[in-house]
């Protein structure tokens, strides 16, 4: 059983399930969720979404779901996921979205870590009470007045250094000020009520919060369970999409689609770039298709200790920055504990009025803390105008004979070479230096990779000796997770690596 704090406010509030009911009463026949595919379209109006999730809540309640109960939703992006999640929230449960592609071993580890009381899946499991998704659609209607009071919440699985996932309870809860749609924070990052949202990012990661917050804002959500880049421009034009979230790897794939420059994408007002910083040349290429004022890059985390945002036109004046604080303070500390000067690299710490140590289901590490500020482990610096620049994860720093090398700096230099389409850098063990820089390069022309000696000469002009890659290898693609994060740990160990 999970207990949570209620909103610390005397102003009227509304739970997300009640917000859905409010929107259904306001425009019951308007489309809430659409799933287009090659042969047709499945959709729910706001009235249908409210009634279907009410009935599904009755089915979950019969399985033991109620306030504070943890419900794992192991479903692909689609109407099943939306109905199951809203049904659990109408019972004031806590929803844990899981990767539907996880293996049985990975799923067993998550069960052992989070201990959900109920799992909603496409098939039953012997180890846990399971509600098949199909049964949510055949459940009889129930009276929503019988739903219990409580606080709807969500939790999210994130990678752990021990190989086991950490389950972080999301803050804030899924409860809103009743008359604050959109909030000032929404408006600051281009969100508004009634937008059309294209949902492409997996729902066991950042896509979850964006989709369901969008429903609270009354968005019509177009779900894309299988992302085929060649189809995205047509979907944007057909549905007059206003908003979507994207990761750098998908940005690159979309820019390679000729139709993106041929169809009408003028409806797009807001694009949130998430997961990892996009290389500068990628952002500039993106802003040649979509106006700079539509692109927002966010810097935040599941731990919710603070957030920074930067809009594209602002980024062009401060290239490489992740922005200035929206709801927090930023402080950069040197290794000796002193506060770093402008331009001086150190560990980045954030503080806001909501900052506190994360809450976990099961075990989880405390964040480093100084003077009420907390750190996610990133290294960076503040420029003279207070804009934050991230140079890399401290854990990814490469110690070359005592010289600290951050991969992002080396990657940025190598991407400037005309023969390099993409690159990633990691540490390789070295008998004398301790560690050396290893570069994995995707050639711009697959069958004509640049000469390693040419890459070395290019780096000599822009990097000190310790920062220059000692070894290179060529691959067809840089490994990323399904949410666009670099799998840096997979970059070393290949026998194909040779010295420069």
Residue 80 lies in a domain: yes
Cα R_g (the chain), whole angstroms: 24
Higher pLDDT, 493 or 364: 364
- State yes or no: cis peptide before 182, omega within 30 of 0: yes
CATH classification at residue 133? 3.40.50.12780
Distance, CA of 41 to CA of 445 (rounded, Å):
39
Mean pLDDT calculated for residue range 416-443: 91
- Range scoring the smallest mean pLDDT among 14-23, 80-89, 486-495: 486-495
Residue 2 lies in a domain: no
Residue 85: what pLDDT? 98
Mean pLDDT calculated for residue range 5-14: 64
Distance, CA of 272 to CA of 474 (rounded, Å):
31
433-479 per-position pLDDT tens digit: 888 999 999 999 999 999 999 999 999 998 888 899 999 999 999 88
Q: What is the DSSP string of 379-397?
A: EEEE-TTS-EEEEEEGGG-
**Which pTM value belongs to this model?**
0.83
Residues 129 and 215 in one domain: yes
Final residue before a domain boundary, out of 395, 412, 446? 395
308-336 per-position pLDDT tens digit: 999 999 999 999 899 988 778 999 999 89
The phi and psi torsions of 164 (rounded to 5 degrees) equal: -100, 145
Residue 500: what pLDDT? 53
- Range scoring the smallest mean pLDDT among 61-70, 100-109, 111-120: 100-109
Mean pLDDT calculated for residue range 484-488: 76
394-408 per-position pLDDT tens digit: 778 888 877 778 888
Cα angle vertex 259, ends 286, 313, to 5°?
A: 20
Residue 3 lies in a domain: no
Residue 4 lies in a domain: no
Residues 327 and 441 in one domain: no
Distance, CA of 316 to CA of 271 (rounded, Å):
16
Residue 163: what pLDDT? 56
Beta bridge partners of 393: 378
Residue 483: what pLDDT? 64
Residue 41 lies in a domain: yes
Residue 282 lies in a domain: yes
The answer to whether residue 7 scores a pLDDT higher than 80 is: no
Residue 132: what pLDDT? 97
Residues 78 and 226 in one domain: yes
Residues 377 and 419 in one domain: no
SS3 content of the chain, % helix, strand, coil (to 5): 30, 30, 45
Query: How many structural domains comprise the chain?
Result: 3
Residue 6 lies in a domain: no
Residue 8: what pLDDT? 45
Residues 406 and 355 in one domain: no
The answer to whether residue 495 scores a pLDDT higher than 50 is: no
Residue 40: what pLDDT? 67
Share of the chain above pLDDT 90, in %: 68
**Sequence-separated contacts (24+) of 22-28 with Cβ below 8 Å:** 23/50, 23/218, 24/49, 24/50, 24/51
Mean pLDDT calculated for residue range 111-119: 95
CATH classification at residue 380? 2.30.38.10
CA distances (Å), origin 45, targets 218, 236, 451: 11, 20, 57
Residue 102: what pLDDT? 87
154-188 per-position pLDDT tens digit: 999 886 544 578 899 988 899 999 999 999 999 99
CATH classification at residue 463? 3.30.300.30
- State yes or no: cis peptide before 150, omega within 30 of 0: no
Mean pLDDT calculated for residue range 291-318: 91
Mean pLDDT calculated for residue range 82-103: 96
Query: Hey, which of 299-303, 307-311, 428-432, 488-492 has the most confident mean pLDDT?
Result: 307-311
Q: Domain limits at 464?
A: 399-499
Residues 98 and 195 in one domain: yes
Residues 168 and 275 in one domain: yes
Mean pLDDT calculated for residue range 80-88: 98
Provide CB contacts within 8 A for 431, sequence distance 6+. Answer: none
Residues 233 and 103 in one domain: yes
Distance, CA of 129 to CA of 120 (rounded, Å):
9
Beta bridge partners of 176: 14
Residues 331 and 454 in one domain: no
| Average predicted confidence (pLDDT) for the chain | 90
Residue 312 lies in a domain: yes
- Burial (Cβ within 10 Å: 0-12, 13-18, ≥19) of residue 255: middle
Residues 148 and 257 in one domain: yes
Residues 20 and 130 in one domain: yes
Final residue before a domain boundary, out of 293, 315, 349? 293
Final residue before a domain boundary, out of 293, 328, 363? 293
255-287 per-position pLDDT tens digit: 999 999 999 999 999 999 986 678 888 899 999
The answer to whether residue 104 scores a pLDDT higher than 90 is: no
Beta strands at 270-273 and 243-246: parallel, antiparallel or unpaired = parallel
Residues 357 and 415 in one domain: no
Residue 236: what pLDDT? 98
């Amino acid at each position: 059983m999970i207990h949570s704090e209620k909103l610390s406010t005397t102003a009227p509030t509304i739970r997300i399930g009640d917000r859905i009911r409010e929107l259904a009463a306001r425009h019951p026949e308007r489309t809430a969720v659409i799933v287009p595919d090659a042969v047709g379209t499945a959709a729910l109006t706001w009235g249908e979404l409210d009634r279907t999730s009410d009935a599904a809540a009755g089915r979950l309640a019969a399985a033991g779901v109620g306030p504070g109960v943890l419900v794992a939703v192991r479903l692909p992006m689609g109407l099943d996921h939306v109905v199951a999640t809203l049904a659990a929230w109408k019972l004031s449960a806590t929803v844990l979205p899981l990767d539907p592609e996880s293996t049985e071993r990975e799923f067993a580890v998550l069960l052992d870590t989070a201990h959900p009381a109920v799992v909603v899946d496409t098939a039953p499991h012997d180890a846990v009470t399971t509600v098949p998704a199909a049964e949510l659609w055949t459940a009889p209607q129930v009276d929503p007045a019988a739903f219990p009071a409580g606080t709807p919440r969500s939790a999210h699985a994130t990678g752990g250094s021990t190989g086991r996932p950490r389950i972080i309870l999301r803050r804030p809860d899924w409860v809103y000020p009743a008359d604050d749609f959109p909030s000032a924070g929404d408006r600051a990052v281009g969100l508004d009520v009634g937008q059309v949202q294209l949902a492409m990012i997996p729902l066991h990661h950042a896509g979850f919060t964006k989709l369901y917050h969008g429903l609270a804002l009354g968005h019509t959500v177009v779900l894309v369970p299988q992302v085929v880049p060649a189809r995205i421009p047509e979907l944007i034009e057909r549905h007059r999409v206003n908003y979507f979230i994207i990761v750098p790897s998908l940005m690159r794939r979309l820019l390679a689609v000729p139709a993106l420059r041929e169809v009408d994408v003028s409806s797009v007002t807001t694009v949130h770039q998430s997961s990892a910083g996009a290389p500068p040349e990628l952002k500039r290429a993106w802003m040649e298709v979509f106006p700079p004022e539509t692109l927002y890059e966010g810097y935040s985390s599941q731990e919710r200790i603070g957030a920074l945002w930067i809009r594209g036109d602002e980024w062009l004046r401060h290239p490489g920055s992740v922005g200035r604080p929206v709801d927090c303070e930023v402080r950069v500390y040197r290794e000796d504990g002193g506060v770093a000067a402008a331009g001086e690299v150190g560990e980045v710490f954030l503080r806001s009025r909501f900052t506190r140590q994360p809450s976990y289901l099961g075990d989880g590490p405390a964040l480093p803390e100084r003077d009420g500020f907390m750190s996610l482990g990133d290294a960076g610096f503040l420029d003279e105008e207070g804009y934050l620049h991230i140079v890399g994860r401290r854990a990814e720093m490469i110690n070359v004979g005592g010289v600290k090398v951050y991969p992002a700096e080396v990657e940025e230099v190598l991407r400037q070479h005309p023969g390099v389409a993409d690159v990633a850098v990691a540490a390789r063990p070295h008998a004398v230096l301790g560690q050396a820089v290893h570069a994995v390069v995707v050639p711009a022309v697959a069958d004509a990779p640049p000469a390693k000696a040419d890459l070395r000469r290019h780096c000599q002009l822009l990097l000190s000796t310790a920062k220059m890659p000692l070894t290179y290898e060529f691959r067809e693609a840089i490994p990323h997770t399904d949410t666009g994060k670099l799998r840096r740990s997979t970059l070393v160990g290949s026998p194909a690596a040779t010295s420069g």
